[in-house]
């Protein structure tokens, strides 16, 4: 079970993201730099209890209009070998000491727990309360659904609005599936489509306080 500590981080999460987000190909803020506020999200538990996993929603009002981004984050007590491209930065945690903070699409623990959520093997947790499930996070499956035991990440490719993460089991001819993590969140139902055995939808708050709800991630058809 993830434990939420009521303490400080220096630099804070939003401060780190303000320097990192404009470098992403899916960032849609203005030229004057991000003006970020936390808008929602949820957490997942690491079965080993070592890695913090958070799906953080931030709204940027620095451009012509508000844009809401999804940033999956992991918090580690030491650098993650092979994930240098995913490092957002380091921060001093008031209880746990130095933490290495990663874009979670590059972190095996986050990717495999997100796959477990799609497969029904774990439960989304409240972003701010320890040991409290978040019933507002929806997992929708079609057909045979998502099997247990998928692994990843393989490669991570950023597009204009998402991150595409290859997941296995990995065969000689390549991975069997692609996990798509939304980066620019849109309010509304998940689009219909064949060959999508699993989707995750969740909510966030607009700058005026209105509730929004949309697609956070989905898994493509196996065998493609």
Query: In the chain, how many domains are there?
Result: 1
Distances (CA, A) of 133 to 11, 80, 197, 204: 28, 28, 23, 16
| Angle value at C-alpha 88, between 81 and 115, nearest 5 degrees | 65
Phi, psi angle pair for 93, to nearest 5°: -90, 135
The whole-angstrom separation of Cα 116 and Cα 68 is 25
Average pLDDT of the residues of the chain: 91
In a domain, 140, yes or no: yes
pLDDT at site 211: 96
Cα torsion 70, 72, 75, 80: sign:
negative
Query: Which helix (H) or strand (E) is 115 found in, with range?
Result: helix 108-118
Q: For residue 10, what pLDDT band results from cuts at 50, 70 and 90?
A: confident
In a domain, 164, yes or no: yes
- Tens digits of residue pLDDT in 85-112: 999 999 998 777 899 999 999 999 999 9
In a domain, 115, yes or no: yes
Query: Which helix (H) or strand (E) is 113 found in, with range?
Result: helix 108-118
| Res 4 pLDDT > 50 | yes
- Tens digits of residue pLDDT in 17-47: 999 999 999 999 877 889 999 999 999 999 9
pLDDT at site 40: 97
In a domain, 2, yes or no: no
Q: In angstroms, how far apart are the furthest CA atoms of the chain? A: 50
In a domain, 213, yes or no: yes
- Tens digits of residue pLDDT in 60-71: 998 888 999 999
Phi, psi angle pair for 110, to nearest 5°: -65, -45
Structural domain boundaries enclosing 166: 9-219
Helix (H, G, I), strand (E, B) or coil at 57: strand
The whole-angstrom separation of Cα 9 and Cα 101 is 11
In a domain, 174, yes or no: yes
In a domain, 3, yes or no: no
Q: What percent of the chain has pLDDT over 70?
A: 92
In a domain, 1, yes or no: no
Extract the runs of DSSP E, i.e. beta strands, from the chain: 9-10, 36-44, 52-60, 67-76, 87-93, 97-103, 138-141, 156-158, 162-167, 177-182, 198-205, 211-219
Verify cis geometry, omega within 30 degrees of 0, for the bond prior to 153: yes
pLDDT at site 224: 44
């Amino acid at each position: 079970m993830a434990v939420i500590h009521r303490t400080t981080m220096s630099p804070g999460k939003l401060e780190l993201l303000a320097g990192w987000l404009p470098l992403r190909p899916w960032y849609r803020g203005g030229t004057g730099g991000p003006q970020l506020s936390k808008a929602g999200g949820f957490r997942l538990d690491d079965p080993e209890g070592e890695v913090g996993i958070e799906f953080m929603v931030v709204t940027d009002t620095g451009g012509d209009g508000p844009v809401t981004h999804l940033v999956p984050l992991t918090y580690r007590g030491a650098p993650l070998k092979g994930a240098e491209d995913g490092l957002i930065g380091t921060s001093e945690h008031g209880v746990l000491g130095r933490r290495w903070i990663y874009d979670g699409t590059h972190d095996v623990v986050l990717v495999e727990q997100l796959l477990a959520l799609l497969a029904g093997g774990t439960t989304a947790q409240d972003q701010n309360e320890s040991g409290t499930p978040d019933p507002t996070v929806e997992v929708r499956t079609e057909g045979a659904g998502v099997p247990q035991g998928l692994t990843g990440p393989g490669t991570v490719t950023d597009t204009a609005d998402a991150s595409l993460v290859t997941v296995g089991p990995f065969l000689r001819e390549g991975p069997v599936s692609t996990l798509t993590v939304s980066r620019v969140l849109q309010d509304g139902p998940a689009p219909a489509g064949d060959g999508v055995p699993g989707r995750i939808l969740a909510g966030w708050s607009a700058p005026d306080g209105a509730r929004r709800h949309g697609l956070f991630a989905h898994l493509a058809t196996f065998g493609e």
